[in-house]
Structure 1
Amino acid sequence: MLHHSVLKSDVEDALNVFICHGILGSGQNWRGFARKLQEIRSLNIVLMDLRCHGRSPAKIPPHTVDACSRDLFKLSGAVGAPDIVIGHSFGGKVALASLRYLNPQQVWVLDSPPGPLSDKPEDRHEVSRVISALNSIPLPLKKRQDLKDLLVSFGFSEMIGNWMTTNLKRTEDGFVWKFDLMGVERLIKDYFKQDLWSLIETKQESEIHLVRAQNSDRWSQSILERLKKQSATKIHTLPNSGHWVHVDNPNGLLDIFDRFLVRSV
């Protein structure tokens, strides 16, 4: 079963929420935002490490978006079925795909286009470039700072360097990855291939909300035009934010949730 933590509400009839992190992330990345979300709603929030990430086991292949969504179904047997599933980036497609196995009241997709994405070198997003760089880093490392220095020397920002140091764990020989890098590579390749437009464009029993970050590089003009033509999904634009929505504009994201997140009866 996925490693997880539950942030319990004091309210008896609080709704259950699953939050799915992005690639190379972990449930811990969303703890601060989850606490703020609990200030505006009575929610039990489940923060999990998706397969091949954090303290969750790599599990048996195939490592795919669909396999991750089936992991959510198995997790629901232990913590209760979710009323709301929220997913960011890679986790956004996992949240959408979970509609095949779960029946939440709402699904929230945060800055994650529903269709296939190009994996050509010239089109690759920053996380894909990070994964390629990680394959060239010799492990174990003597200290966390060594990883940051290497990534910055490769041309990545200090923010990316600091973020990736949270993915290291100490062993007797030095620092190594918390995640299964080979498994993560398979997950991101499947993420790029997945076409979930049918779930966005067809009326579902669950209410679907898609949040696009205003300054994100994930959205081509053709994707935006296609979104305009559909009426089954509610589309929101988060201003003053790049891809890292809960970091770039957490208050703006909270405002969207405050206005549209389903309320307990």
Structure 2
Amino acid sequence: MNESAQPPVLRTEPISAAGTPPERWVAILHGIFGAGRNWTTVARRLVRARPEWGALIVDLRQHGGSRGFAPPHTLAAAAADLPRAFAATGLPVRAVLGHSFGGKVALELVRSHAESLALESLWLVDSPPGAHAPGGSAWEVLEALRRAPGPFPGREAGVSALRGLGVAEGVARWMTTNLEERSNGWVWRIDPEDMEQLLGDFFRQNLWGVVENPPPGLDLHVVKADESSALDEEACRRVEAAVARSGRVHLHRVAGGHWVNADNPDAMLELLESALP
């Protein structure tokens, strides 16, 4: 008798301070064109400063080392992957930090799976909770990937191709972390079709209900990067109203752009050091 194939498990990387077994773990979820490695520097600094915490770096479905996941690729599917991944590690995950797309995955995780988890702290880093029409720099990069699929003779050729399609220099260079060398040249390791499904659902879903009424026992921290428009002032006012109604919602403003983990890691570290339980 043939047994149905088991779904794959997300790739995770546990990081902890040398010689100190962590009591609790924070799972870190990256943005739409990223991977867990984008947050490694912040994670390593955090566990040195708060050695009772470990950091679990996660590659979300169809990113980094997490491949072979079946469609549909939605926020609900991405969130449903997480409890299985946490269970596979055997680690007590008590907090989740999500950046941009990863923040909305974290909100869906709480909305759909809070009862099966024991989360104490949720962090949304420059991540808009509401529904919006598709657009912005991420959507523009997605279109550029479709028009410049490669292969390229080298990373610089990938940068030039994206720049020629209107992608900003810094973003184009950062995107080359998604290039991998194969026998025919350098190609994108992310699939634009998969990214469109995930990003499209990111824009469709409205998860303000979790922000405005977090489950009992959960502290929710919203981080606004001051030089980014991802979380606009109207959204910040709505968060501030939730702060006023509840002692469990918090708004933090930090200097820097959308990739605050790279722009201002000191600020992120200071927040996490002081506000993690």
For normalisation by structure 2, the TM-score amounts to 0.88
- Number of the residue aligned with 2:262: 247
- Number of the residue aligned with 2:42: 33
* TM superposition shift of 1:159: 1.5
CA–CA separation in structure 2 for the residues paired with 1:13 and 1:157: 40
Q: Secondary structure at the match of 1:66?
A: helix
Q: Secondary structure at the match of 1:84?
A: strand
- Number of the residue aligned with 1:235: 250
* TM superposition shift of 1:3: 1.6
Structure 1 portions without partners, runs of 5+: none
* TM superposition shift of 1:12: 2.5
Structure 2 portions without partners, runs of 5+: 1-8
- Number of the residue aligned with 1:188: 199
- Number of the residue aligned with 1:152: 163
Greater alpha carbon shift after TM alignment, 196-205 vs 23-32 = 196-205
8 Å contact from structure 2 (residues 79, 108) kept in 1: yes
Q: Secondary structure at the match of 1:237?
A: strand
Q: Is residue 2:60 matched to residue 1:45?
A: no
- Number of the residue aligned with 2:13: 5
* TM superposition shift of 1:36: 1.2
Greater alpha carbon shift after TM alignment, 244-253 vs 17-26 = 244-253
Alpha-carbon distance change, 172 to 86 in structure 1, aligned in 2, over 3 angstroms = same
Q: Which amino acid aligns with 2:66?
A: S
Aligned with 2:142 (options 114, 131, 135)? 131
Alpha-carbon distance change, 213 to 57 in structure 1, aligned in 2, over 3 angstroms = same
CA–CA separation in structure 1 for the residues paired with 2:208 and 2:149: 39
Q: Which amino acid aligns with 1:90?
A: F
Question: What number of residue pairs does the alignment pair up?
Answer: 258
8 Å contact from structure 2 (residues 124, 222) kept in 1: yes
Identity of aligned residues (%): 34
8 Å contact from structure 1 (residues 53, 184) kept in 2: no
* TM superposition shift of 1:13: 4.0
CA–CA separation in structure 2 for the residues paired with 1:253 and 1:73: 25
Q: Which amino acid aligns with 2:63?
A: H
- Number of the residue aligned with 2:29: 20
Aligned with 1:61 (options 71, 76, 90)? 71
1:119-154 Cα offsets, whole Å, 9 max, x none, are: 2xxxx2211110111000142222111110111222
Greater alpha carbon shift after TM alignment, 174-183 vs 7-16 = 7-16
CA–CA separation in structure 2 for the residues paired with 1:239 and 1:73: 30
8 Å contact from structure 2 (residues 10, 59) kept in 1: yes
- Number of the residue aligned with 2:6: none
- Number of the residue aligned with 2:227: 215
* TM superposition shift of 1:171: 1.0
Q: Which amino acid aligns with 2:86?
A: S
Q: Is residue 2:270 matched to residue 1:261?
A: no
CA–CA separation in structure 1 for the residues paired with 2:188 and 2:65: 11
* TM superposition shift of 1:216: 1.4
Q: Which amino acid aligns with 2:84?
A: K
Q: Which amino acid aligns with 2:256?
A: S
CA–CA separation in structure 1 for the residues paired with 2:260 and 2:57: 17
Q: Which amino acid aligns with 2:130?
A: G
Greater alpha carbon shift after TM alignment, 104-113 vs 49-58 = 49-58
Q: Which amino acid aligns with 2:13?
A: S
For normalisation by structure 1, the TM-score amounts to 0.92
CA–CA separation in structure 2 for the residues paired with 1:184 and 1:98: 19
8 Å contact from structure 1 (residues 212, 235) kept in 2: no
8 Å contact from structure 2 (residues 240, 251) kept in 1: no
Q: Which amino acid aligns with 1:5?
A: E
Instruction: Give the 5 Å matches for 1:61-80.
Output: 61-79=71-89, 80=91
